[in-house]
Chain A
């Protein structure tokens, strides 16, 4: 197990290097720069700005400089939020994004798993149809439609929850709507996945054996069926985390949440080279780690897969 993890982590290094290289040159390919605006700025001033921010050097030279500073753990200053460094912005935003994302994943697994199992056990009955119709609706309604709808009803008309913002970060009321909006499509997806695999597992031989031995239905499902039925869900968690991350870009924008998702879009539009790079590298590392975690978890749940 240890050597498996070590090998995977070692393999991540070249992956990250390729990500950094491609992202660095891609963002520079986009016309315009961080200081362009609909303003009449004298050319000399523009040149001076480039000098101050080291944008006057050849691109390859800038690339090496950047790689060097990343290795030192320094992502450089942000071009568009000049009072903060990229590292500071990411560390300020990450706990918020993480709280939002993990809560949503947690909800998705618990609620989605429970609903999916229920639907499987009541296959082709009213409960099953109701849950699956709701799930289908949940998958098809994108969260940029669901979120404004939720805020309009619960925030503006009923005034029970705030429409946006994050308060001081400790108040629950600010978190409910964004988490729900982010989790809903995932809940729907997980419940469909669970239902499908649960139905399959319930028909398999070892479940029949368990029942034949006189085990109660509850124990059969929770102790034997659930473990096998959740395997597809676990393998879905990797892409789900990626989905949550991209989803949070939208959700954070809609609810004005101070996470890092917003920097992804704004950084690119502002040509904030260092900020975009910082966020790309950070997300890259995150996704690599999540995939690794999923693989490890898979090994634990499925005895058929033994990692060498």
Chain B
């Protein structure tokens, strides 16, 4: 009798325990967002970071003067307002009153002064310090010509007013500072912990979330920051970021309910996803271009525009996005992908021409370029090793072979070897390339094709183009500036130093109960806007 009663009591206690623990679990699980985040972040130091996966986390942990909202527009964040001098050189940012760091200490304009100086200081070793170049003296400081870091054109007028002086007017400046490299860091924490300041327990941030736990290669846990100015509107209690590189494994963990949002979607699973997980695949345009570069510094493409045109014409971009990439990528006919507010992308004039006509035209040009069935072009296409690239390259090669009889050899190299080969401009003829915008302005694309640009592996050199892009960069009048950039893009489309293939999209799997996970054209999301609905 005693024994049964004891057993009864025990089982009751156990039942109660499981009930409370499931209740507690339900509450916790309620507002926790679990995100697949690609590879392990390189660092959570916003001035040192280079990769998108770092920036995703940093935009939750830190907050800059402005944010780029879901429509790709500049919106107030730590700064509640700002004004620009008539000559476009001086920006004055008014910070929100009562801003605090996650440790409760006040955040002032001096913090931005400190952080931005730190970014350009060569001793910091920031790869992205060049983003600061529009600011007065930034370039000279970053390249150690000017040793006085304090001469950078930033100062605190008073604790709530941060003033920036530019080298020359920069029409896209507020768009630029939405980049994660402009996020502020905590001076006291860096002074105290040195290069260990990003560790859990040490890291002090000013964003909607703060770092709680970081197990390399496993997960990063951020919890709601009670000192954040808009904490009342932050619904999530926790965000977990999982570094999972393999897209198929990531999808499996998503399907097993271990993730709420994925970082990527494997294209070979898209048919399955559309059929079995309808409504969970989210695709939004991404400001980036997948293109093929022509090496213009040597034959066969040097001084042979007609050959470049002929090859570009025969690529059936619609077929590539429909049959290979499959996830809503847009066939590309311009250098700057469409979608930047206020900018008109310049398209190749045969954009709407049907394929048979394009091929007929290409055959003529191919002949005029000095090639034909009896004297076919022998072409080498180079790309970095990847199954996805390989499929696209095979398609391109067979389209060229079929339409023009071009003999193509495909050569692939490991990524870093490939980048080196491309840069040397000796072994390449036609090569794969891609560019993702740093900020939502055509300038980020225009700069890349300048004759002295670091990534102009085509060797495109058009003084007229260089002049247009350089003048546009210092033009105050927004309309004139945009017009110049559009004129510059017209030159690119005319000279064809590369052929656009498709414009990138951002694709993620998002569970139906995740609300407010908005991706903008730069692929940014802010977890502060997310709510987990009952499910």
Contacts and interface: CB of A to CB of B under 8 A. Distances in A.
Interface of A: 30-33, 35-45, 48-49, 51-53, 77, 80-84, 89, 92-93, 148, 151-152, 155-156, 159, 162-166, 253-259, 262, 266, 269, 271
Interface in B193-229: 195-196, 198-199, 215-219
Contacts of B219: 165
B454 A43 contact: yes
A48 B122 contact: yes
Contacts of B123: 52
Contacts of A253: 245-246
B417 interface: yes
Contacts of A159: 256-257
A31 B130 contact: no
Given A37-B50, A39-B455, A45-B130, A163 B253 contact: yes
Interface in B443-482: 447-448, 453-456
A30 B413 CA distance: 12
B374 interface: no
Nearest to A263: B217
A31 B424 CA distance: 12
Contact of B454 (A40, A148, A262): A40
B159 interface: no
Contact of A40 (B144, B218, B243, B447): B447
Contacts of B129: 45
Contacts of A269: 414-416
Given A42-B130, A163-B249, A32 B419 contact: yes
A82 B43 contact: yes
Nearest to B456: A40
Nearest to A50: B125
A156 B125 contact: no
Contact of A165 (B48, B216, B242, B419): B242
Contacts of A259: 217
Nearest to A253: B246
Given A81-B216, A165-B242, 10 more contacts: A44-B144, A92-B215, A148-B248, A155-B252, A159-B256, A163-B252, A165-B218, A166-B215, A256-B243, A256-B253
A166 B252 CA distance: 15
B435 A38 contact: yes
Contacts of A51: 122
A33 B416 contact: yes
Given A41-B127, A41-B454, A83 B199 contact: yes
Interface in B233-263: 242-246, 248-249, 252-253, 255-258
Interface string B468-501: 0000000000000000000000000000000000
Contacts of A49: 125, 127
Contacts of A92: 215-216
B258 to A, nearest CB: 6
Given A31-B421, A48-B144, A83 B416 contact: no
B329 interface: no
Most chain A CB inside 10 Å of its own CB: which residue of B218, B219, B243, B434: B218
B448 to A, nearest CB: 6
A163 B44 CA distance: 27
A81 B40 contact: yes
A4 B56 CA distance: 55
A44 B455 contact: no
Interface string B39-51: 1101111001010
A256 B244 contact: yes
